[in-house]
Amino acid sequence: MRRIQLPSMDPALVSGEIGDFLIDTIRGAGATGAVIGLSGGVDSTTTAALAKHAFDAYNHEHGTGYELVGYLLPSRTNDSSDTADGRKVAERLGIRYETHGIEPIVKAYRTTNPEALNQFDKGNLTSRIRANVLHTKAATERKTVLGTGNKDEDFGIGYYTLFGDGAVHCSPIGPLSKRLVRQMAEYLGFPDLANREPTAGLEAGQTDFKDLGYRYDLVELVTEGLHQGFSAQELAAHEQVAPLHERQQREYATLYGAPKFSATIAMVDDIVRRHRIADAKAGIVHPPMPRVTLRYETRDAP
């Protein structure tokens, strides 16, 4: 059976390529630096660390003053540990940061959007509020808004809010899968956050695994397989996909009482459906990404 190839990277090389992209983006915009929403998760942490290192190196060489500012914007659904982790990241990086609770703003929308009562609509509303705050902060300081979405989430299955966390000026880690983002986080000195459970923080107790029913290593395998010419049926029976799916469904059943997908083909079909949605969303808003050097090779599932 033909194997699915997954990308590998040299973190030092790729971090430099992303850093060059960030400097070019800031210079091209005539900006004074960038703002970023810090959640304490691996994606925002990695993006912030890449930007800070790039700005520091460029400022030292050219005598400029590019600045990265972090914003922590918790709502009622965020766990307090998320905010604490975000604050620790900002302090470890030595960047200016601010914390602003946005729950009063969310509640204010009851006057104009009383229909947004279910958690799905309210969660997306919360994400769009955060985007508005970040863009207003950026505009008043002539800064660029950095996206924190990775390849699996943004371009694999479109797991983000259009005009919310997807409303950014650029997408520094957009070419990197969740697996590679974790590798980059470890390289940049954040091994403690590299394997943090992914959560959008838009509802209490939410995790990406609970919502989706599978983890991002499966998203990467399936979407890479699609791009390499495998059909959905071939992927469902593939020796790299089926055992991993079965293992994750056992884990899901242990955590939540029953597996979300009883058959591998149902899981693959769900990823294919979401991938089509991701393509459609990217056709509306597609922030620029860096070109990075990746080497494709056959890799066994973890």
Indicate which CATH number applies to the domain containing 61: 3.40.50.620
Kindly state whether residue 223 falls inside one of the protein's structural domains.
no
d(CA 8, CA 31): 33
Which residue in 44, 60, 54 sits closest to 16, CA to CA? Answer: 54
DSSP symbols for 186-213: HHTT-HHHHTPPP---SSTT--HHHHHS
Which residue in 80, 76, 79, 70 sits closest to 38, CA to CA? Answer: 70
How much is the pLDDT for 34?
A: 98
| Digit-coded pLDDT (tens) for 240-263 | 999 999 999 999 999 999 999 989
Asked if the model's pLDDT at residue 199 lies above 80, the reply is no
How much is the pLDDT for 194?
A: 86
Range of the domain at 57: 5-205+281-298
Kindly state whether residue 49 falls inside one of the protein's structural domains.
yes
Kindly state whether residue 234 falls inside one of the protein's structural domains.
no
How much is the pLDDT for 296?
A: 94
The SS3 of residue 125 is: helix
d(CA 216, CA 208): 9
Model pTM score: 0.94
Which residue in 97, 169, 119, 263 sits closest to 127, CA to CA? Answer: 119
How much is the pLDDT for 202?
A: 62
Mean pLDDT of 59-64: 97
How much is the pLDDT for 215?
A: 97
239 residue type, one letter:
E
Please state the domain count of the chain. Answer: 1
Q: What band does 105 get if pLDDT is binned at 50, 70 and 90?
A: very high
Mean pLDDT of 81-98: 94
Question: Comparing 104-118, 191-205, 251-265, which segment has the lowest mean pLDDT?
Answer: 191-205
Q: What band does 77 get if pLDDT is binned at 50, 70 and 90?
A: confident
Percent of the chain predicted with pLDDT > 90: 84
| Digit-coded pLDDT (tens) for 6-36 | 999 999 999 999 999 999 999 999 999 999 9
Kindly state whether residue 217 falls inside one of the protein's structural domains.
no
Confirm if 63 and 89 have CB atoms less than 8 A apart: no
Kindly state whether residue 31 falls inside one of the protein's structural domains.
yes
Tokens linked to 170: 């650029």
Burial class (CB in 10 A: 0-12, 13-18, 19+), 63: exposed
How much is the pLDDT for 172?
A: 98
d(CA 269, CA 102): 37
Beta partners for residue 298, in sequence order: 5
Q: For residue 41, what is the DSSP state?
A: S
Which residue in 266, 229, 265, 176 sits closest to 4, CA to CA? Answer: 229
Kindly state whether residue 55 falls inside one of the protein's structural domains.
yes
Burial class (CB in 10 A: 0-12, 13-18, 19+), 111: exposed
- Where is 23: in which H helix or E strand? helix 11-29
Beta partners for residue 37, in sequence order: 71
Q: What band does 198 get if pLDDT is binned at 50, 70 and 90?
A: confident
Asked if the model's pLDDT at residue 302 lies above 70, the reply is no
d(CA 194, CA 57): 24
d(CA 158, CA 184): 22
Mean pLDDT of 86-104: 96
d(CA 256, CA 25): 43
Kindly state whether residue 236 falls inside one of the protein's structural domains.
no
d(CA 14, CA 175): 10
Kindly state whether residue 270 falls inside one of the protein's structural domains.
no
Q: What band does 203 get if pLDDT is binned at 50, 70 and 90?
A: low
How much is the pLDDT for 72?
A: 96
Asked if the model's pLDDT at residue 138 lies above 90, the reply is yes
| Digit-coded pLDDT (tens) for 151-184 | 999 999 999 999 999 999 999 999 999 999 999 9
How much is the pLDDT for 178?
A: 97
Mean pLDDT across the chain, nearest whole number? 94
